[in-house]
Homo-oligomer: A and B are copies of this chain.
Amino acid sequence: MRPTIKHVSKIAGVSTKTVSRVLNGERYVSEETRDRVQQAIAHLKFVPSMAARSLAGKRSHQVALLYDNHSPHYIHQIQTGVWTRCMEEGVRLLAQPSDVASPMLAQHVGELIDQTRVDGVILSSPVTDAIAVLDELEARGVPYVRISPGTEHSRSSSVAMDDVQAADDMTTHLINLGHRRIGFIVGHVNHTASDQRLFGYRRALDRAGIPFEPRYVRQGDFDFASGEAAGDVLLDLANPPTAIFASNDDMAAGVLTVAHRRGLSVPGDLSVAGFDDTALASQLWPPLTTVRQPTRDLAYAATGLLFSGETVHRRLPHELVVRGSTAPPSIQS
């Protein structure tokens, strides 16, 4: 038979309530009593039943993570970050794949809450922007934190990187190498980060006094094929770019492929840069310079906010991983 707090209380010579106090780290328990109880717990290898705790108490010691089909790499980073923080808190994690396209999503989330009474919810992109879900969570009074939300920023605590600054940094890096004709491939139109990355690109050009040329900017949608298409157009221009900065790595991989086909050496003839959205960079050849996003840390921090109850918007720093961008051909001589 599995031991219960009753057994523990008997062995420790205290009431069940006192055991409960120790379990929940409540104050007003003497050092000595606490020790006795903890010894009894260790002795019996007692582990409290989640079911009983959540039925009797206000907390379930569980949190849910909502996510939708981003790249497996992204999901993995997110899960790892959230899970790590949950472990520290002694809380279990409920994985909840979601379909933001489904009109039932909010209802499913509502049922999840009712069934499990989770203590809080972490929303990762793109579920962060499902208004119906936010409404549902608020209607039920469930705390939630969002990772890189695209809209409704004031509705909850959130954690994000600075996409504008990251794109600015990367563009500035290319400019500092000597590039003046820098192609840019915009990300998917529905993705807020796309606008921000474009903005950062423009800001860096402005600051350097390089005129913005619309023909160096192409629309993509975050996948390999759109990167290929945009790369082809950019390299067909009369005065083609000496560097191409794609809004993510899938598109950057597309550009690399196009360069291959044309016999361009990378980065000798063309420097290619991107973000590490899918962690492709380390497996590509020729190499890619990328913005390393702190996805795991974002998830970890977001979960921390959930537990602390703070309402804030945190920014976490990114990092430039230079691996394959050089000076433009003209000044390499």
- Given A73-B72, A283-B280, the answer on whether A92 and B80 have CB atoms closer than 8 Å is no
Contact of A60 among B51, B75, B285 (CB under 8 A): B51
Cβ B79 vs Cβ A224 within 8 A: no
The verdict on A114 contacting B2 (CB below 8 Å), with A94-B94, A282-B224, A283-B280 known, is yes
Give Cα A49–Cα B51 distance, bound, in whole angstroms.
10
Inter-chain contacts of A111 with B (CB < 8 A): 47
CB contacts under 8 Å to B, within A230-256, are: 250, 253, 256
Interface status of A52 (Cβ within 8 A of chain B): yes
Give the residue of B55, B76, B116, B286 whose beta carbon is less than 8 angstroms from that of A75.
Answer: B76
With the chains together, A114 CA to B284 CA distance in Å?
Answer: 45
Chain B residues with Cβ below 8 Å from A104 are none
Q: Is A83 an interface residue (CB 8 A)?
A: yes
Instruction: Enumerate A39-83 residues with CB–CB distance to B below 8 Å.
Output: 47-55, 60, 65, 71-73, 75-77, 79-80, 83
Q: Is the CB of A116 within 8 A of B50?
A: yes
- Set of chain B residues within 8 Å of A65, measured between Cβ atoms: 95
Residue contact A115 to B50, C-beta cutoff 8 Å = yes
Whether A205 sits at the interface, judged by CB under 8 Å, is no
Asked whether A279 is an interface residue with its Cβ less than 8 Å from the other chain, the reply is: yes
Shortest CB distance A185–B (Å): 16
Instruction: Determine whether the beta carbon of A76 is less than 8 Å from that of B72.
Output: yes
Q: Which residues of B contact A147 (CB under 8 A)?
A: none
Q: How far is the CB of A94 from chain B (nearest CB, A)?
A: 6
Number of copies: 2
Q: A2 to B141, alpha carbons, bound, how many Å? A: 13
CA distance A79 to B97 in the complex (A): 9
Query: When chains A and B are docked, how far (Å) is the Cα of A14 from the Cα of B143?
Result: 36
Kindly state the separation between the CA atoms of A94 and B92 in the bound complex, as whole angstroms: 8
Q: Are A83 and B60 in contact (CB-based, < 8 A)?
A: no
Q: Indicate with 1 or 0, residue by residue over A85-122, a CB within 8 angstroms of chain B CB atoms.
A: 00000001111010000000000000100111100000
A115 close to B54 (CB less than 8 A): no
Bound together, the chains give a CA A114 to CA B94 distance in angstroms of 17
- Provide a sorted-by-A list of 21 A–B residue pairs whose CB atoms are within 8 angstroms: A2-B114, A47-B114, A47-B115, A49-B114, A49-B115, A50-B115, A51-B51, A51-B52, A51-B116, A52-B55, A55-B55, A72-B279, A76-B76, A79-B95, A83-B97, A92-B116, A93-B95, A95-B95, A224-B282, A253-B283, A283-B284
A interface residues (Cβ-Cβ under 8 A, vs B): 2, 47-55, 60, 65, 71-73, 75-77, 79-80, 83, 92-95, 97, 111, 114-117, 224, 250, 253, 256-257, 260, 278-280, 282-286
